[in-house]
Structure 1
Amino acid sequence: MLIHGHEVPGAIDEETRCSHYHKENDRIAIKFHCCGKYYPCYKCHVEFGCGKKEVWPKAKFDEKAILCGSCGNELSVNQYFQSGYECPNCKAEFNPGCGLHRELYFET
């Protein structure tokens, strides 16, 4: 699905929700470091992605890697970590539960 100019495989609505995570505040897509494409979650990356499990290295946390499904704002990993689970641009809430899977996306 094309969302804010980005192809987001696995998305089922215009705010990046997917069949795995579809609560109201599930509205981010994560650009996977291994393939450079946005996916709603790690499960969608397994289903539709490149098959690799490469996480974002700390040295690249200043690069854009998070897409707000509400407004299309792209955040760096650092901006996302500092966001308080809210888009700094449109103030839409992000799911704080995503933090439970941090090691699947980012070097810890």
Structure 2
Amino acid sequence: MQVLGQTVDDQTRCVHWSGPTDVVALRFACCDAYYPCSECHDSAGHPAALWPRSRFGEPAVLCGVCRHELTVDEYLAASACPHCSAAFNPGCALHHHLYFEGFSRG
């Protein structure tokens, strides 16, 4: 699975988020492509579109450690990858409004 943007390693960390648990890439509805973060997507040259709530049952989150795809519903319920147990950054919840429809800022 290809991850676009300014990645710095093969576990989807990028120049904006490169901590030990920053191992998630998100699929954007506007271009159907995975990016490590919204800031990386900003360089794509088109406005980001939030992943629609009606599609939360579709794969839209990629574990950078094992490349397992999670649905948005699975991701929102998890603190780690259900396939390889890699921990996800709990702080990412503060940014759900940038990726998923129905979340408010903060």
What is the TM-score with the length of structure 1 in the denominator? Answer: 0.90
The residue that corresponds to 1:41 in the other structure is 37
1:15-26 residue pairs with structure 2 within 5 A?
Answer: 15-26=11-22
| Alpha-carbon distance in structure 2 between the residues aligned to 1:71 and 1:20 | 21
Q: Offset of 1:82 from its aligned partner? A: 1.0
- Provide the aligned length of Structure 1 versus Structure 2: 102
Identical columns (%): 43
Shift of 1:10: 1.7
Identify the residue that residue 8 of structure 1 maps to in structure 2: 4
2:80 pairs with 86, 89, 93, which one? 86
Runs of 4+ in 1 over 2 A off after TM superposition: none
Q: Which moved more, 1:6-15 or 1:91-100?
A: 6-15
Taking the aligned partners of 2:25 and 2:61, their CA distance within structure 1 comes to: 6
Alignment RMSD: 1.0
Q: CA deviation at 1:9?
A: 2.3
Structure 2 residue runs without a partner (length 5+): none
Alpha-carbon contact 2:3-2:25 (below 8 Å) kept: no
Give ranges in structure 1 of 5+ residues lacking alignment.
Answer: none
Answering whether residue 64 of structure 2 is matched by residue 63 of structure 1, we say no
